[in-house]
Each structure stands twice: as C-alpha cells, then as structure tokens.
Structure 1
C-alpha cells in the first residue's frame, strides 16, 4: 500500500470523544486545549462529558465513541481504573488517553491499557497532536472480538 493510499484512509469523519473528570474545570481545559478539530485530517470532534465512571461505561456501551480522555485523578473512581475496566469489559473499546498529574504515573497508565497519556495541567501545544494520533490509530485498527 502506498503512502498516498494510507493518507486517504485518515479519519476525516466526525469523532466522538468522551472527556471524564469529576471536576468541570479539567473537562473544560481538555476541550479548550484540543479544540473542535485537532488536525486537518481529524474531526470535527463531538465532545461527550462525563462526571462519573459509571457515565463513561454507559456512554461507551451505547456505542459510537472513538476516544476516551480520562482524568487519572478523578474521584471517587479514577480514570486509570475506568480505563482498565473498559479494557476488560468492552470488546471493541475506543482508544483511551489518561490524564496524569505526575510523569512517574505513566506505568499506571500502561497497566490500565491506555494507549496515550497527557500530563496535567493540559498543554494546548501538545494535546491536539496526541488526540489526533490516537484518533488516527483507532480508525486504522481492526475490530476486536472477545
């Protein structure tokens, strides 16, 4: 397959992204940093906000979610636990990115099976690129059946 045909498969369709945190200011910071279209070949994004881990699971179970951005510091259920739960319970789960407060917590993100991490506070210069890369990778992966 040529590079030209690879780029033609880039996800140009709208993307549904869940952002989870019990803190509205974290959800707002993520939406603001990433924007509605993180890259020319990705999006536009429809943001789905969740305040609880149960809301995340229900939203993902309903289908149509391409990416979950989960606050690792959320209370009472952290985004790392929610990511792990999605990995264990959802056959064709969306891509997952975990917000981490400390770089040493990257191993926890790996344990949770998250494909990406973003440090807190959210950096508007790097967040769009991470989100775009995760959406591209999710669009290219085969459907997994468990």
Structure 2
C-alpha cells in the first residue's frame, strides 16, 4: 500500500527543554493561560495523552511510590456523551513515573479542586480535571 498512497504525514518534533521552559514561564505569568499551567506541566512531564490525563482520578495517583497508573482514558462523543475506553494496546497499560515537578502539580490540582457535579462514567468518578461547569474535561 505504501507504493500506492504517498505518505505525506509531517513528523512530530518534540519541544526542546528551552521551549518547554519558555512555554511554562509564559503560561505561569499570563492571566488567561495560568489556569492551564498544571495540566500542561503534567502532560510535558509524564508524556500522557490528553484523554489519559482527562480520565485521571485520585485512585490513579500513587504519591508514595510516585507513579501514575494508566489503564483507561476519558473521551466524549456528541452522540453518546462521556465514555471510558481502555488503552488501544497492551503497552498502553503502564505506570508512568511522577517527576518532582509533576508531583507538585498533582498536589496543587488536588488541593485546588472544586467539587464537581459527581459525574460517574462507566464506574469512574472523582475526575481530577474539571471544566468551569464542574464536568470532567474530555479529549
């Protein structure tokens, strides 16, 4: 099939450490984007997919051993609303190390968390990342 269809995908290029620092410095000091600082920092530090981040609950965080347990993701469709999906491959099930920066960000998220609407999605509840309406953020 490679001979028939031209592969025109653009390769993904990760941010350099300098670019990450510039982004986080900007976000931290900007009145509009500061509220997303911890989410972006956690994404950068852990390499989680956005849907995996959105699906996190306190039960997925192990502060003692400093890892994030990844075994599901939270998605939303216009037809069905919120739903939980398992990782697509066996390697998607993993324990992601929690850096010192991610540890502090998760602590801030937990301590600053407002009570949500109590949404339960396929047995999961207590989502860490909520929108301004108190509903889980979703990819």
TM-score, length basis structure 2: 0.25
Greater per-residue strand proportion: 1
Between structure 1 and structure 2, the one with the greater Rg is: 2
TM-score, length basis structure 1: 0.24
